[in-house]
Structure 1
């Protein structure tokens, strides 16, 4: 590869990485441009709303972290270390809640459990009771339960991977040395799984702090809902940027903890021992087997099976009664908007990740490595922060050139929306493509050069066919993530153009939960695709 084309490619990729970092970097302008009014506003926030946002977000994060750790690690240990009826099916079914966005769970369970819902109506008819039989589920405790049901698979997947390698062999060795089951779990399994649990909890907390749908629908005072309130309700971009910066610092800390835990996790499982004949799961019988089966079935039933059935019930009842208020032509328009935006973002993210990974493989210079780190941080940045980070430069451009359309190009257009998606989800595509490159031996590149192939020919004829599954997987993951994304879409979407996620949120906000069922169900079905692919890959690896 000649020096000039390589330099130009590196410069172009470096510029793209800088553009993807622009929304985050632009938030710093809210602090560099502090004047007397801005300082007064900052003091006002510290004395009024900021303590409430911090308190609610902290309570939510602590409770969700404990919940996903207990449910995820407990179910992972059960299906990995023990054998009981239905274990083979449950170890894959426990991944299904990954396809269920937390805000969809909020809509479903609110409709079912509220005072006017079918469950309380049936109980009142049976018992003769009057009034509400239990408090409204739209509170902090209800949000914690929903987040745990939707996010525990992060902890489950990483913990199961950590235990499935050396876990069974080490536990078997401890048993042969005379250690009882309690001691084996406490002194062998728990230390081995601790880095995986920490990494999974960090990922779950990032998703929790980035959420807007559940927080807004339940009326929670979190940082994300505060950012939207400051911008959309009060029109104060400085206050929104300051809140977004505080949230970004918290997320950056979680990213550091997750990377630290992942490094320990890779070290702990760097030499997997496999599961031999003497390291089979301990077979449970009687009440112990029944308990394990029920405990592993409950998260699947509450986090996926029951919500899907409730969504189907709402859709069918509306159609059977002829009261379905959602016009099919509008639904098709919303679906097409979602598919178009998700498809465009997935294609661009996969191509960018492929070219960036190829450039790093050919010439791993430090600017490209820094660029990869910058891009990788995007997935940890909440959609609310990215939206504010785009609106700030858009407002500056509009003030600088009021007669031009530079400012509006970043907002209320498909271009600005796809730009935000690339900032948020390019890291997902890059991780998948880099995993594919890690399986390609460097000897392939040397053989190609010896046969006279240049970089372009090597890319298309050698790397391309071998990386096709990884690239397709990257595009699919980005596609599904964009279909489910709500915060950035809610702010940056073009006028008169809604996606399924936005429509589901707006209908649920207006208490039209039956009509919100159809777009919610469509989002879940699309999200089910990568979950099934992941379950298939895990089953192949286990077999």
Structure 2
């Protein structure tokens, strides 16, 4: 009997240590791309970078900054404005519009770009109809150019404003009526009270959403590449493939990495300095009554991003798909779907498990080391996929080549590309990029689990694996499922890392859509784009159900 108890104690000890080992491995994986970018950037020649500095580097910098500023501003206006209207005012259809405003989050920006280009470009239906009706020639009129930095900003704004909207909506919902009513008593109009009271109180949440929008904007590749907008993300891809200069790609990636980490620090600072008080929450806010004209304006303001970001793109893409020659049930397309689902499924499971291990370890044994591991795991969300791809490929390609050369010299055996020729390195890139989303969902769920439950389980003899298996996982089933779905959909949409790192002849729906669009076969690109968007709707619908359950 004593031997059995001793063996059981040894097994529990090993399992508990296994959490620490897994946490160390995950942290090491998260660090590798940053070290890889640094090593590659300073180990190669700077000739290409000098040439880029003399020609296009300034354009990369200014264009990236201009695009980020435009998308941040427009997303803040649309997201915060719509959030305040659906939270603080009442108008017909408010409850349905409140849910619909989150739907554009399901669409990748490059999917919208394909749809709008087909409709608004020179041969598209809008300009063709305009010429037929007026009899104008191609040079007789001016029409906004969709393939421009303004067009790219519009596409990104339409899919990213929900980040600001969701966080601002939560902040406005948490505000009590006391401060707002005090401003009204002092003679402020409802809208002046909004700008001087409600908006400043929600500023930390809005700032966090805007920083998320900025990080997603600098990470975008599909939209800017298709529109011909020269940003850092495009420069990395061009240096890697067109110029075949990995050192130059790493040097550009290092600059983009610094920019992304700066945004991550600003986002963290905006949350850390949130010291506003929401007043007495037990005084519910009475919704403002709007005049007929104000109701019409509110409905138009809230419906515009939904129509432009969901309804019109779906109509355009569906029309394009029906006229294409792409067969979604063909063996080739079934292969694209299978590859996409395989990558997304494996990455989602690994991300949830990693988030569970890192979060539990920090919850049970909170130390500076566990806190650092969580911080490093979160940083990846701020780093563009192209940067992670470069940072992983450079060291692992060197390892593969070195190992193959050594095995050939000593054993006359070729090991091939163990890492860079498999899907696992690509899955590691997804894990680094989207682990923060899984950690956020885990922390949102674990916050409702009291520490006394952990203490009771430990008192009853449960070790860390038993605590997770018997207490946390049953209580966090919904949160973990949400985390998995978010990572799953993000991987389905991810383009730059997949383009750079995918094994030979291993294409996904996102790659197929990008390839067809690059060849100007937009009708064909609509088919995989619609599949990606349809899958993306799954977690958004779950999120909308939660919004609907908590609405007043």
TM-score normalised by length of structure 1: 0.93
Is 1:102 matched up with 2:112?
A: no
- Equivalence for 2:76: 69
- Equivalence for 1:504: 513
CA deviations over 1:34-73 (Å, ceiling 9, x no partner): 6xxx244443332222111101111111111211111112
Distance 1:272 1:429 in 2: 32
Is 1:519 matched up with 2:528?
A: yes
Distance 1:479 1:473 in 2: 10
Distance 1:53 1:333 in 2: 36
Residue 416 of structure 1: how far off its partner (Å): 1.3
**Secondary structure of 1:268's aligned partner:** coil
- Equivalence for 1:172: 181
Does the 8 Å CA contact 2:401/2:417 hold for their aligned counterparts?
A: no
Distance 1:402 1:458 in 2: 44
Does the 8 Å CA contact 1:209/1:382 hold for their aligned counterparts?
A: yes
Is 1:87 matched up with 2:94?
A: yes
Cα distance change, pair 419–324 in 1 and its aligned pair in 2 (3 A): closer
**Secondary structure of 1:408's aligned partner:** coil
- Equivalence for 2:341: 339
Runs of 4+ in 1 over 4 A off after TM superposition: 1-8, 323-327, 404-407
Does the 8 Å CA contact 1:412/1:495 hold for their aligned counterparts?
A: yes
- Equivalence for 2:393: 391
Distance 1:523 1:347 in 2: 19
Distance 1:515 1:253 in 2: 39
Distance 1:324 1:474 in 2: 33
Is 1:26 matched up with 2:6?
A: no
Distance 1:40 1:74 in 2: 48
Q: How do 1:192-341 residues align onto structure 2 when only pairs under 5 Å count?
A: 192-265=201-274, 267-268=275-276, 273-274=280-281, 276=283, 279-318=285-324, 323-324=325-326, 328-341=330-343
Residue 453 of structure 1: how far off its partner (Å): 3.0
State which of 455, 461, 472 in structure 1 corresponds to 2:470: 461
Is 1:114 matched up with 2:121?
A: yes
Distance 2:71 2:165 in 1: 14
Cα distance change, pair 152–286 in 1 and its aligned pair in 2 (3 A): same
CA deviations over 1:331-387 (Å, ceiling 9, x no partner): 211111111110111111111111222222221222121111100101111000001
Is 1:143 matched up with 2:149?
A: no
Residue 324 of structure 1: how far off its partner (Å): 4.6
CA deviations over 1:117-146 (Å, ceiling 9, x no partner): 122222322332332652531011111111
Cα distance change, pair 139–456 in 1 and its aligned pair in 2 (3 A): closer
Q: How do 1:401-440 residues align onto structure 2 when only pairs under 5 Å count?
A: 401-403=403-405, 408-440=417-449
Mark the runs of 5 or more structure 1 residues left unpaired by the alignment.
Answer: none
Is 1:52 matched up with 2:59?
A: yes
**Secondary structure of 2:295's aligned partner:** helix
Distance 1:533 1:5 in 2: 34
Does the 8 Å CA contact 1:17/1:374 hold for their aligned counterparts?
A: yes
Cα distance change, pair 156–503 in 1 and its aligned pair in 2 (3 A): same
- Equivalence for 2:50: 43
Cα distance change, pair 5–402 in 1 and its aligned pair in 2 (3 A): closer
Cα distance change, pair 25–324 in 1 and its aligned pair in 2 (3 A): closer
**Secondary structure of 2:175's aligned partner:** helix
Does the 8 Å CA contact 1:386/1:424 hold for their aligned counterparts?
A: yes
Q: How do 1:369-384 residues align onto structure 2 when only pairs under 5 Å count?
A: 369-384=371-386
Distance 1:424 1:172 in 2: 44
Cα distance change, pair 90–273 in 1 and its aligned pair in 2 (3 A): farther
Cα distance change, pair 524–437 in 1 and its aligned pair in 2 (3 A): same
- Equivalence for 1:187: 196
CA deviations over 1:76-133 (Å, ceiling 9, x no partner): 2222222111111111111111011110011000001111112222232233233265
Cα distance change, pair 3–283 in 1 and its aligned pair in 2 (3 A): same
CA deviations over 1:192-220 (Å, ceiling 9, x no partner): 12222221111111111001101110111
Distance 1:168 1:89 in 2: 24
TM-score normalised by length of structure 2: 0.91
Does the 8 Å CA contact 2:36/2:395 hold for their aligned counterparts?
A: yes
Cα distance change, pair 16–182 in 1 and its aligned pair in 2 (3 A): closer
Cα distance change, pair 79–30 in 1 and its aligned pair in 2 (3 A): same
Q: How do 1:7-18 residues align onto structure 2 when only pairs under 5 Å count?
A: 7=17, 9-18=19-28
Does the 8 Å CA contact 1:397/1:407 hold for their aligned counterparts?
A: no
Q: How do 1:155-166 residues align onto structure 2 when only pairs under 5 Å count?
A: 155-166=164-175
RMSD: 2.1
**How many residue pairs were aligned?**
533
- Of the structure 1 ranges 362-371 and 332-341, higher mean CA displacement relative to structure 2 is found in 362-371
- Of the structure 1 ranges 521-530 and 118-127, higher mean CA displacement relative to structure 2 is found in 118-127
Distance 1:198 1:449 in 2: 40
Does the 8 Å CA contact 1:107/1:513 hold for their aligned counterparts?
A: yes
CA deviations over 1:312-333 (Å, ceiling 9, x no partner): 1112234xxxx55777222211
Cα distance change, pair 98–193 in 1 and its aligned pair in 2 (3 A): same
CA deviations over 1:148-203 (Å, ceiling 9, x no partner): 11111111111121112116542223213432224312210221122222211111
State which of 455, 458, 467 in structure 2 corresponds to 1:446: 455
Distance 1:304 1:362 in 2: 43
State which of 127, 133, 139 in structure 1 corresponds to 2:134: 127
